[in-house]
Amino acid sequence: MGERQSDGGRAGRRRVRPERSVCPVGVPAAAGRAAPVSVEGPAGDTARLEALLVAALVRDGVDAGAEQRAVAAFVAAREAGAHGARTRRRDDWRASRRRFGGRSLRATLGALVAGCALSGVAWAGIQAAGTPGGGRSEDTGPTRTPSASSAPAVPDVSGTSGAGEAPGVSASASAAESARDGARHGSGPAEAAGDVEAQCRAYERAAGRGRAPDAPVWERLVAAAGGAARVDAYCAGRAGGALPTASAPAPASVPPVARGEAGAGRPTGEAAGTGSSGEGKGRGEGEGAGRKP
């Protein structure tokens, strides 16, 4: 477009000069000769070019001999009855058929097929997300949690304090095996201690590689530690043997909150459990941060 405009401007100026015209650009003298061209700018330029082409290529008037031959052929065909012939598809140039029949049929079919395909994809997506164990997305973690792991785990914790250590240990073991997995899927409030540990581990590993850990893990860890700057100290404290002492008082306070929240299927269950297994202050912030999303 820019090229054409500049070209047009140049052409216009050059054309205008010999005619002593005051028109700045784009109203060429040739306009009157050919088609009505009064537009300025690229469109006018195009129209002028078309007028030039027409003037140069189309010769008005026809060869009389050729016309007579054509008419003679027409008469001959008429006499021979050829004009009653059936209309083929390529002979039908009616606007309605051409524009609305053929095209819209194809467009309708295309839209139909595309709609079916898209809705199929959407349905499959919904199915995959709703199926337990089917999806790997973040949302499915909490919804799965109550039915799968927290129901058996919570009674253990809330029941006897002696048994309370067992799930903590096993959870930390399993979490240690798959730290990232455990942190992501959030296997429940009962495994809060191991969860935090796993999160700390994941954080350290990621920090060692110079990367930020997974966003949800990091958020939970920050919430539990009570601030991004205190994560290091928090994790160090956890690693330094805080786990046994923290898990002892935890069963008394955690289960009511954690069970209720986990039962409701909200993602806050994890955050609350994480926080409550630590200090009271951390728990409050953990809940607050967990409810936000």
Partner 1 sequence: MGHGGESRRTQAFDGELGDAVARAQQGDEAAFAVAYRLVQPGLLAYVRGLVGADAEDVMSDAWLEIARDLGRFKGDGAGFRGWTATIARHRALDHLRRQRVRPRASALEQDVLELPAPHSTHDQAMEAMSTEQALALVGGLPRDQAEAVLLRVVVGLDGPAAARVLGKRPGAVRTAAHRGLRRLARQLAADGVTDEAPRTLGEST
Q: Which is closer to partner 1, CB of 63 or CB of 210? A: 63
CA–CA gap between residue 247 and residue 171 (Å, rounded): 12
For residue 235, give the nearest of 187, 190, 202, 269 by alpha carbon: 202
CA–CA gap between residue 210 and residue 212 (Å, rounded): 7
CA–CA gap between residue 289 and residue 217 (Å, rounded): 12
Q: Which sign does the torsion angle of CA 232, 237, 243, 247 carry?
A: negative
Q: Minimal distance in Å, beta carbon 79 to partner 1? A: 10
Q: Minimal distance in Å, beta carbon 73 to partner 1? A: 4
CA–CA gap between residue 185 and residue 271 (Å, rounded): 12
Helix 268-276 vs helix 250-263: crossing angle, to nearest 10: 180
- Asked if residue 231 lies in contact with residue 220, where contact means CB atoms within 8 angstroms, the answer is no
Q: Which is closer to partner 1, CB of 48 or CB of 238? A: 48
Q: Minimal distance in Å, beta carbon 25 to partner 1? A: 12
Q: Minimal distance in Å, beta carbon 91 to partner 1? A: 4
Q: Minimal distance in Å, beta carbon 118 to partner 1? A: 23
Q: Which is closer to partner 1, CB of 54 or CB of 121? A: 54
| Residue 266 burial (CB count, 10 A) | 18
Q: Which is closer to partner 1, CB of 22 or CB of 56? A: 56
Q: Measuring CA to CA, how many Å separate 34 from each of 51, 262, 267? A: 6, 82, 76
Q: Which is closer to partner 1, CB of 73 or CB of 114? A: 73
What backbone torsions phi and psi does residue 159 show, to the nearest 5 degrees? -70, -95
Q: Which is closer to partner 1, CB of 33 or CB of 292? A: 33
Q: Minimal distance in Å, beta carbon 114 to partner 1? A: 18
* Three-state SS letters, 153-199: HHHHHHCCHHHHHHHHHHHHHHHHHCHHHHHHHCCCHHHHHHHHHHH
Q: Which is closer to partner 1, CB of 71 or CB of 124? A: 71
Q: Minimal distance in Å, beta carbon 116 to partner 1? A: 24
| Site residues (vs partner 1, CB under 8 A) | 3-4, 6-8, 10-11, 14-15, 17-18, 28-30, 34-37, 39, 42-47, 49-63, 66-67, 69-71, 73-78, 82-88, 90-95, 98-99
| Residue 129 burial (CB count, 10 A) | 14
